[in-house]
Amino acid sequence: MPEPLTSVTPVTSVAPVTSVTFPPAFLWGAATSAYQIEGAVREGGRTPSIWDTFSHTPGRTAGGEHGDIAVDHYHRYRDDVALMADLGLTAYRFSVSWPRVQPTGRGPAVQVGLDFYRRLVDELLAVGIKPALTLYHWDLPQELEDAGGWPERDTAYRFAEYAQIMGEALGDRVEQWITLNEPWCSAFLGYGSGVHAPGRTDPAASLKAAHHLNLAHGLSTSALRSAMPARNSIAVSLNSSVVRPASQSPADLAAARKIDDLANGVFHGPMLHGSYPQSLLDATRSITDWSYVHDGDLTLIHQPLDALGLNYYTPALVAAAEPTGPAPRADGHGASAHSPWPGADDVAFLQTPGERTEMGWTIDPTGLYDLILRYTREAPGLPLYVTENGAAYDDKPDPEGRVHDPERIAYLHGHLSAVRRAIADGADVRGYYLWSLMDNFEWAYGYEKRFGAVYVDYATLARTPKSSARWYGEAARTGTLPSAEGA
């Protein structure tokens, strides 16, 4: 196994480039997820997911908001695809709602649910937009959670059966597949800090969930390969953290290593190298004995991948905590008395300096550059995609109904410049998916945070492309970044 990188190097700069031109085949996409945009939660045989239950539980989401209607993409998908085509996008990453196609997480598919995704894919292909299908973006069928959820081994096998169903249904027309989106959030925010569905706060359960998500990835990869043409690409999207130490002291470097293991090594270790970092196992021995890792599991998880998706928003800055008092936890992952970092109570998360988005996340394109270069070394020869990157701002229409968002244009220009610099430095990055296509239900934040390039009036559900959408569309059509000046 290659020596894992520490991701604790000092901040590197991404020098400005005067002419930012991308390779001709580079994919210019946008991303969404099913629960955040579809609505129609009780149509076509769909049953509740853990996010339906969580968002309808008082006190779990801002204002008690939920995704029952979201932005009604289920009924408006044709208009949304036409909007993507008008903007000039060449790719669209969406997720499938597991309980829409397999309501209980077991048994045969509901054809009306599959038919929705067939129609969506056909609509995309008809206008020349490449579909990228994510099997799991956090909407576990509630019946599987009632049976124990991701901490239970059986959930991984149910997921593989679901993957088989989807591969057989859409493998003839979808070439890009992603097994899991951000399994770190599913495991550690869902079962550790409780700020995401299902809202459990059990450190041992969060580590078990991480392993079974890894197992689900491996089993589903094998299932997809058995069900689809060999030409199709299978990937996973990781929200790998860029973890930086507050200093080069041994204590701060050790703190950064611990968080790097929990954020990154817990997934890329088994997926890319076939083993968990020994330092991770040692640091969590007081929480779990890892006995749920069965003989042969790591071989099942360590399946060959065709690509790797990287989701990036902001770096993390950590230090060894002071010996007295609770460690500060400005980790950007929501407020909770329970930590999503099992075994890391001795690590302090510090506020990174610089300008911030509405999420309170520091804007730092150097983190994206560093992340891409890390995985260029971590997984040599594996094509990379930036499967999420974007920013939330307090966007509002002007009196003429236009939505001007120069901050997002500057954000995109900086991060896309970082991608292009990484390509120039040898990284095989083949596409970029802006998060998000449109404003939507932003999980526990409800509808407060707007990440979209397209503005949604939540009262009427009317869509209005923001100035950033037009800017991004021009980049997609020309393969060159327009100026961000005067945006």
Q: Is 43 assigned a catalytic role? A: no
- DSSP class of 64: G
Q: Is 388 assigned a catalytic role? A: yes
Indicate the SS3 state at residue 410.
helix
Residue among 65, 145, 388, 407 flagged as catalytic: 388
Instruction: Report which of 309, 168, 145, 287 is spatially closest to residue 225, judged by C-alpha positions.
Output: 168
Q: Residue 427 burial (CB < 10 Å; 0-12/13-18/19+)?
A: buried
Instruction: Report which of 108, 120, 106 is spatially closest to residue 73, judged by C-alpha positions.
Output: 120
Q: Residue 381 burial (CB < 10 Å; 0-12/13-18/19+)?
A: exposed
DSSP string for 275-334: S--HHHHHHTTTT---TTS-TTHHHHH----S-EEEE-S--EEEEEPPSSSPPPB--SS-
Contacts of 46 (CB under 8 A, 6+ apart): 40, 97, 99, 100, 103, 110, 113
d(CA 425, CA 384): 14
Q: Is 4 left (phi over 0), alpha (psi -120 to 50) or beta?
A: beta
Residue among 38, 123, 152, 182 flagged as catalytic: 182
Instruction: Report which of 117, 213, 112, 111 is spatially closest to residue 158, judged by C-alpha positions.
Output: 213
Token output for 170? 């859409």
Q: Residue 107 burial (CB < 10 Å; 0-12/13-18/19+)?
A: exposed
Give me the residue label for tokens 């908001």.
Answer: 65
Answer whether 183's CB lies under 8 Å from 210's CB: yes
Instruction: Report which of 210, 157, 220 is spatially closest to residue 185, judged by C-alpha positions.
Output: 210
d(CA 150, CA 294): 16
Answer whether 288's CB lies under 8 Å from 208's CB: yes
d(CA 54, CA 111): 27
First-to-final CA distance of the chain: 46
On the CB side of 241, how many CA atoms lie within 13 Å of its CA?
30
Active site residues: 182, 388
